[in-house]
Amino acid sequence: MREYKQFYINGQWVDPVTPNDCDVINPANEEVCGQISLGSEEDVNRAVAAAKTAFESYSRTSRQERIELLESCVETYKKYYADIANAIREEMGAPASLAMTAQAYTGQGHLEEALRVLRDFEFEEDLGDHRLFKEPIGVCGLITPWNWPVNQISCKVAPALAVGCTMVLKPSEVAPLSAYLFSQVMHEAGVPAGVFNMVNGDGKAVGTALSKHPDVAMMSFTGSTRAGSLVAQNAAPTVKRVTQELGGKSPNIILDDADLEAAVTRGLVHMYNNTGQSCNAPSRMLVPRHKLAEAEKIAAKVSASVVVGDPADEKTTMGPVVSEVQFKKIRKLINAGKKEGAKVVCGSTRRPKGMDKGYYIRPTVFSEVTNDMVIAREEIFGPVLAMIPYDTEEEAIRIANDTPYGLAGYVQSGDVGHARDVASRIRAGNVHINGASGGFDVPFGGFKQSGNGREWGSHGFTDYLEIKAVEGFGR
């Protein structure tokens, strides 16, 4: 069992002001796999004070100094790579193959991308006789979720380090083990004392204290729309910048000219990736009504091929959901879909055969769903697909946009030009044509209640910068 009860503040591992032990549960077997301590407002105050002091010097470091620091972070991360992957598997149930090839890799990928952008990023721009400077915003509060734990940490920490900000990280208390290891990477890589700080805790105590703190210049939050709204409300009195990457209920429009088998298969495989626990999962599949029966057969076949099991088993393609709370919520929503009259193509609320422990959910597909049903409106955050029939392309686009969310959209078509036209009408921050996905250089973020601001690549630098205009600079 991993015991990570200290916080990382001002370049040192320190004990909490008031110890408050919290178990970390392995969702594959419901056993304790680690322990952390939950922090308090006093711990946040210590971390913010360290970050505020460090900002005075770190904000004035040269580009070359920060390049060398990020290079060290990348190389140190590689040393911890396998342990980080194993921690992610233990804390949130990601299959070993996914944890190693995708989950852990994102941490390295964002560090490498920030390094690439930093080498040529323009921090100054002339405007006639005036000069515009892009300067680090100050102390940043970073709150990250459990579903892609290192991805969301790294895509915030990397650009903040690159532009000269200091920071306090609050990772999810549900999956905090990989965050501890990431903090160790920062320490061994030589990040100056106070530049990077980490305090474990829940949203009510640590998240609120961080969001309200007058010395925090900006908050970067990833999580539920409900929690993101609370962060913004807590931050409002101090008029700090708040950026949010929130929920999603992303539409996947399969157009009439698409290869149905390929499109449905692609959509289901993506949906079941990470056990459906991705904010941009294509959870609403829109299918031409006259092809619905055929699409149901394909969906049932694909779902039957999913290997649900122990994340440590290399044959497993889908692990458990992260916690008992999520397990109960997902089963409740599956029952809601049945009560509302949606057709169950496959799946149920019962655990897969032979699994008496662990938060396992069967791959579940509903068909004949209407867009006003609960399973079409709420972010289920599990391996549950809502298949919605449509009669015309205009209706499909209307249904796709009829959601409070706008994180992602998907379009499947045999004609790329046709797909581009439909993609242009979807109100979402990222739209994927025929299964294409962006790299670490492509901005990620949403419209509407899916948030504001953009992360990843050069766009990810923007939220951590202020613009200063020095007029008459060139005279």
Tell me the CATH number at 158.
3.40.605.10
- Based on the fold, state whether residues 33 and 92 are members of the same structural domain: yes
DSSP label of 444: B
DSSP-derived 3-state class of residue 327: helix
Q: Which of 216, 209, 215 is nearest to 234 (CA)?
A: 209
Strand partners, 387: 285
Model confidence band, residue 417 (pLDDT cutoffs 50, 70, 90): very high
Q: Are residues 238 and 286 in the same domain?
A: no
DSSP state of 308: B
- 3-state secondary structure labels for all residues of 69-137: HHHHHHHHHHHHHHHHHHHHHHHHCCCHHHHHHHHHHHHHHHHHHHHHHHHHCCCEEEECCEEEEEEEC
**Which are the contacts of 332, defined by CB distance < 8 A and separation ≥ 6?**
none
Domain membership flag for residue 321: yes
Catalytic residue among 245, 296, 379, 455: 245
In 3D space, the residue among 458, 433, 440 whose CA is nearest the CA of residue 102 turns out to be 440
What mean pLDDT do residues 39-55 have? 98
Q: Is residue 335 part of a domain?
A: yes
165 flagged as catalytic:
no
Active-site option among 140, 165, 279, 346: 279
Q: Decide if pLDDT at 377 tops 80.
A: yes
Is residue 243 a contact partner of residue 211, using CB atoms and an 8 Å limit?
no
Average pLDDT over residues 376-394: 98
How many C-beta atoms surround the C-beta of residue 450 within 10 A? 29
pTM above 0.85, yes or no: yes
Segment 129-181, tens digit of pLDDT? 999 999 999 999 999 999 999 999 999 999 999 999 999 999 999 999 999 99
Domain co-membership, 281 together with 321? yes
Distance CA(114)–CA(137), nearest Å, equals: 17
Strands of 5-86 (E only): list them: 7-9, 12-14, 21-26, 31-37
Confidence band (pLDDT; 50, 70, 90) for 456?
very high
- Average pLDDT across the chain, whole number: 97
Pairing of strands 284-288, 384-390: parallel
Q: How far apart are CA 178 and CA 474, in angstroms?
A: 48
Residue 289 and residue 187 in one domain: no
Residues 237 and 340 in one domain: no
For residue 259, pLDDT over 90 is answered with yes
Domain of 429, CATH number, reads 3.40.309.10
Amino acid identity for residue 103 in this structure: Q
Domain tally for the chain?
2
Integer Cα distance of 319 and 359 in angstroms: 9
pLDDT tier, 225 (very low <50, low <70, confident <90, very high otherwise): very high
State pLDDT tens for residues 190-216: 999 999 999 999 999 999 999 999 999
In a domain, 464, yes or no: yes
- Give just the sign of the alpha carbon dihedral 456, 185, 247, 242: negative
With respect to residue 304, please indicate whether it lies within any of the assigned structural domains. Answer: yes
**Residues 255, 241 share a domain:** no
Which are the contacts of 217, defined by CB distance < 8 A and separation ≥ 6? 137, 138, 139, 140, 240, 241
Statement to judge: residues 373 and 464 lie in one domain: no
**Residues shown for the chain:** 475
* Whether 195 contacts 51, CB under 8 Å: yes
Query: Looking at the DSSP assignment, which residues form a beta bridge with residue 251?
Result: 284
Answer yes or no: is 475 within a domain. no
279 is catalytic: yes
| β 343-346/364-367 pair status | antiparallel
Determine, yes or no, domain membership for 94.
yes
Average confidence (pLDDT) over 29-54: 98
Share of the chain above pLDDT 70, in %: 100
- Which residues are registered as beta bridge partners of 141? 168, 219
Residues 265 and 218 in one domain: no
Q: Are residues 411 and 287 in the same domain?
A: yes
Estimate the crossing angle of helix 292-304 against helix 260-272, to 10 degrees: 50
444 assigned to some structural domain:
no
Residue in the block written with tokens 């100050």: 138
Average of per-residue pLDDT across 337-346? 98
Average pLDDT over residues 321-338: 98
Same domain, 124 and 236: yes
DSSP for 389-402, written as a single string: EESSHHHHHHHHH-
Do 462 and 432 share a structural domain?
no
Domain that holds residue 199: 2-246+449-470
pLDDT attached to residue 141: 98
Asked if residues 307 and 359 have their Cβ atoms less than 8 Å apart, the reply is no
CA distance 182 to 176: 10
- Kindly tell me if the per-residue pLDDT of 475 is higher than 80: no
Q: Are 148 and 230 in the same domain?
A: yes
- Given pLDDT bands bounded at 50, 70 and 90, which one contains residue 354? confident
pLDDT at 474 over 90: no
Model confidence at 108: pLDDT above 90: yes
In a domain, residue 207? The reply is: yes
